[in-house]
Structure 1
Amino acid sequence: MLVTHSTSPRGGMVHTLALAEALHDLGRRVHLVTQGDRLFRPTTVPHTVLPAPARDGTLTDRVFASIDALTGALGELADGADVLHAQDCIAARAAARVRAAGAPVSVVRTVHHVDDFTTPALVSCQREAIIEPDRVLVVSEYWRRVLHDHYATESTVVPNGVDPDRFPPISPERRAEMRTRVGASSGRGDRFLFLAVGGVEPRKGTHHAFEALGELVRRMAHPPMLAVVGGHSFQDYAPYREATLAALPGLGLTLGEDVVLLGTVSDDELGAWYRSADALCFPSVKEGWGLAVLEAMAAGLPVVAGDLPVFREYLLDHHDALLPRSGDSAALAASMMEMYADTALRRRLVAGGLNTAGRYRWSASAQRHAAIYDEVRATRAPAVRRG
Structure 2
Amino acid sequence: MKIALLTYSTQPRGSVVHTWELATALHQLGHTVAIYALDKGGQGGYRPLPCGFYGIAAAPAPAAIDDLIRQRIQEFVTYLGAVDQTYDIYHAQDCIGANALVQLRQQGKVPHVVRTVHHVEDYASPYLRQCQDTSIRQADLCLCVSDRWQQALAQDYGLAALRVVNGVNQDRFSPHPQAEDACLRATYGLTGHPIYLTVGGIEPRKNSITLLAAFAQVRSQYPQAQLVIAGGATLFDYQPYRDQFFQRLASLGLTVGTDVILPGVVPDAELPGLYRSADVFCFPSVKEGWGLVVLEAIAAGLPVVTANEPPFTEFLAPDQALLVPPESVLALAQAMVAAAQPTQAQALVQHSQTLLSQYTWPTSARQHLAAYQSL
TM-score, length-normalised on structure 1? 0.92
Q: What residue is the counterpart of 2:311 in the other structure?
A: 310
Q: CA deviation at 1:235?
A: 0.7
Cα distance in structure 1, aligned partners of 2:196 and 2:100: 39
Cα distance in structure 2, aligned partners of 1:14 and 1:43: 12
What aligned pairs does 1:90-105 form with structure 2 within 5 A after superposition? 90-105=96-111
What aligned pairs does 1:215-294 form with structure 2 within 5 A after superposition? 215-217=217-219, 219-220=220-221, 222-294=223-295
Q: What residue is the counterpart of 1:20 in the other structure?
A: 23
8 Å Cα contact 1:82/1:104 also seen in 2: no
Q: Taking structure 1 as reference, are residues 313 and 78 closer, same or farther at Cα in structure 2, changes over 3 Å only?
A: farther
Q: Taking structure 1 as reference, are residues 274 and 203 closer, same or farther at Cα in structure 2, changes over 3 Å only?
A: same
Cα distance in structure 1, aligned partners of 2:46 and 2:166: 19
TM-score, length-normalised on structure 2? 0.95
Aligned-partner SS, 2:196 = strand
Q: Which amino acid aligns with 1:174?
A: E
Percent of residue pairs bearing the same amino acid type: 40
Return 5+ residue gaps in structure 2 as ranges: none
Q: What residue is the counterpart of 1:327 in the other structure?
A: 327
Q: Deviations over 1:208-235 (max 9, x none)?
A: 1101011122x22534210111011011
Greater shift, 70-79 or 134-143, is seen at: 70-79
Q: What residue is the counterpart of 1:45 in the other structure?
A: 51
Cα distance in structure 1, aligned partners of 2:295 and 2:355: 8
Q: Which amino acid aligns with 1:3?
A: L
Cα distance in structure 1, aligned partners of 2:358 and 2:13: 22
Paired residues, number: 369
8 Å Cα contact 1:195/1:277 also seen in 2: yes
Q: Taking structure 1 as reference, are residues 58 and 264 closer, same or farther at Cα in structure 2, changes over 3 Å only?
A: same
Cα distance in structure 1, aligned partners of 2:365 and 2:178: 35
Aligned-partner SS, 2:257 = coil
Aligned-partner SS, 2:198 = strand
What aligned pairs does 1:110-129 form with structure 2 within 5 A after superposition? 110-129=116-135
Cα distance in structure 2, aligned partners of 1:100 and 1:172: 51
Q: Deviations over 1:285-344 (max 9, x none)?
A: 100100000111111121111112100100012x2211111222111111001112x201
Q: Taking structure 1 as reference, are residues 238 and 373 closer, same or farther at Cα in structure 2, changes over 3 Å only?
A: same
8 Å Cα contact 1:22/1:363 also seen in 2: yes
What aligned pairs does 1:1-387 form with structure 2 within 5 A after superposition? 1-36=4-39, 37=42, 38-77=44-83, 79-168=85-174, 171=177, 173-185=179-191, 190-217=192-219, 219-220=220-221, 222-317=223-318, 319-340=319-340, 342-376=341-375
Cα distance in structure 2, aligned partners of 1:225 and 1:41: 28
Return 5+ residue gaps in structure 1 as ranges: 377-387
